[in-house]
Structure formats: structure tokens, C-alpha cells
């Protein structure tokens, strides 16, 4: 059975906005690609809907949120991103709907990106049985809709001046990915950005988990399909 080849994502753009649910979402695959793009002189802004306050079982939310925000800011710095925003949505119970679309529309209009990056919003990670999480699904769906909303002056007129300059939306690590970015030269930076989420990784209580092993395995598979050593895969949508 032949493996479907991946096509390289476009890189003739200057500004991207990443909208994901939690601190660490970008680091599980996409951050190495972001390091590639910031190394090319592109600007990338991170927008985290939550602070990940419900993400560590042994740490109470009021302590966990600030801790994970600090780790995310450091993780972003490692890959060349200085602008990181946290929007205060409730970790674990993000609801898809008009209210969430308005929040994301406002961010898109304010930052005016050409490319919007979000997390996988399919039901699974593997197209089969490895279930995705509701926050990821609802965030990705709302982001895709908000890109269209942001371009319509009559939708959410109180959320800023319309922006119709988004060319594509890229959902990272989707089982429906048909595109990818070469991360051969930046995978090590991506690994370091994931290691920066130390409290979260420690809280997984999985001593055998190694960021380098995890990202190398994931990236090698995508790289084989792209024709490179390592790559980050994306499902690409055109509004």
C-alpha cells in the first residue's frame, strides 16, 4: 500500500497567528515549523484560549494557570515568538458557539494575519481510534469559522474592523493532513520548546515520556511523506 505524499505548505507570507486551546498544544509538533518560519524573518503570534489551569492533576488551577503561562512564554521565546496572549477561556470546558467565534474573530482582526494556525479538530488523531479532546475540536472549528467571520463586516461589527486577508488556515497534526513543513533543521529547537513545559510533562506521571523521542517519531513519519528527514504535517483550508 502506497503512502500518500505530502505537499509543502506555502511560505510566501509574512505574518501568522496561532490560535490553540492550551499551553503545550503547539509544542507537540508544530513549534519546530514555527522556529523555521521565525528563522526566515516571519512574524508569528501565539493566542492561547486557556491558561491550561486544569491540565495538571496534582496542581490546583489557581496555581497551575500562572505556572503554565510562564512555561508557554518561555517555550515561545525558544522558537522566536515574543507575542503570546491568553484569553481566559475555561480549560477543559471550551464551548463551540457564537461567543467563542466572536472572541477569535476579534483576535484575527486585531493581528491581521495572512496564515492562521490551529490545532487538529478532527474527532481522532489517527483517523481511527485515538480520540481527540473536546477543547481542541471546539477551538479548531471555531477558528475556522472565525476566519470567515473576520472577513464579513456585518458579523461581529463590535469586534474590530474586518480583516479579509487570511489566505489559509492550517490545522496541525490532523489525520487529514496533505501538506507539511520541513523541520529537519529546526527539530532540535522544537524539542527544547516542548521541554520548557516541564511542570506539565512532570504532571503526566509518565517517566518514560521523552520529548525528543516523541517528536522525532512523529516528525520522521511526516518527513518521509514530504521527502525530508523531519516535517510537521498540516491540514490546509482555504476560506
In a domain, 2, yes or no: no
Q: What are the tens digits of pLDDT across the range 153-210?
A: 999 999 999 999 999 999 999 999 999 999 999 999 999 999 999 999 999 999 999 9
Whether 112 and 15 have beta carbons less than 8 Å apart is answered as yes
Q: What are the tens digits of pLDDT across the range 51-80?
A: 999 999 999 999 999 999 999 999 999 999
C-alpha to C-alpha distance for 32 and 232, rounded to whole angstroms: 7
pLDDT band at 2 (very low <50, low <70, confident <90, very high): low
pLDDT band at 139 (very low <50, low <70, confident <90, very high): very high
pLDDT, residue 23, reads: 97
Residue 164 grid coordinates: 479579509
In a domain, 95, yes or no: yes
> What CATH number has the domain bearing residue 122?
3.40.50.10320
In a domain, 1, yes or no: no
For cell 501565539, name the residue.
46
pLDDT, residue 161, reads: 98
Whether 215 and 194 have beta carbons less than 8 Å apart is answered as yes
pLDDT at 1 over 80: no
Residue 50: name the closest of 94, 14, 10 by CA: 94
The total number of structural domains in the chain stands at: 1
The reported pTM is: 0.97
pLDDT, residue 3, reads: 75
Whether 126 and 174 have beta carbons less than 8 Å apart is answered as no
pLDDT at 41 over 70: yes
In a domain, 150, yes or no: yes
Residue ranges making up the domain that contains 80: 7-237
Amino acid at each position: 500500500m502506497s503512502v500518500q505524499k505530502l505537499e509543502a505548505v506555502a511560505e510566501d507570507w509574512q505574518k501568522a497567528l496561532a490560535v490553540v486551546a492550551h499551553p503545550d498544544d503547539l509544542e507537540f509538533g508544530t513549534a519546530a515549523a514555527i522556529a523555521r518560519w521565525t528563522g526566515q524573518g516571519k512574524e508569528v503570534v501565539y493566542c492561547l484560549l486557556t491558561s491550561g489551569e486544569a491540565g495538571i492533576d496534582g496542581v490546583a488551577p489557581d496555581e497551575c494557570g500562572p505556572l503554565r503561562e510562564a512555561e508557554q512564554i518561555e517555550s515561545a521565546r525558544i522558537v522566536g515568538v515574543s507575542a503570546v496572549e491568553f484569553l481566559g477561556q475555561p480549560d477543559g470546558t471550551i464551548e463551540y458557539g457564537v461567543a467563542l467565534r466572536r472572541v477569535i474573530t476579534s483576535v484575527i482582526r486585531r493581528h491581521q494575519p495572512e496564515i492562521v494556525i490551529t490545532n487538529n479538530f478532527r474527532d481522532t488523531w489517527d483517523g481511527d481510534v485515538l480520540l481527540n479532546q473536546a477543547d481542541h475540536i471546539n477551538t479548531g472549528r471555531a477558528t475556522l469559522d472565525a476566519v470567515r467571520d473576520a472577513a464579513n463586516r456585518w458579523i461581529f461589527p463590535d469586534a474590530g474592523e474586518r480583516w479579509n486577508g487570511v489566505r489559509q488556515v492550517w490545522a496541525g497534526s490532523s489525520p487529514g493532513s496533505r501538506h507539511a513543513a520541513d523541520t529537519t533543521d529546526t527539530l532540535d529547537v522544537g524539542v527544547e520548546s516542548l521541554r520548557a513545559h516541564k511542570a506539565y510533562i512532570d504532571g503526566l506521571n509518565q517517566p518514560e515520556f521523552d520529548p525528543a523521542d516523541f517528536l522525532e517519531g512523529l516528525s520522521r513519519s511526516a518527513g518521509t511523506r514530504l521527502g525530508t528527514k523531519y516535517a510537521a504535517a498540516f491540514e490546509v483550508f482555504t476560506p
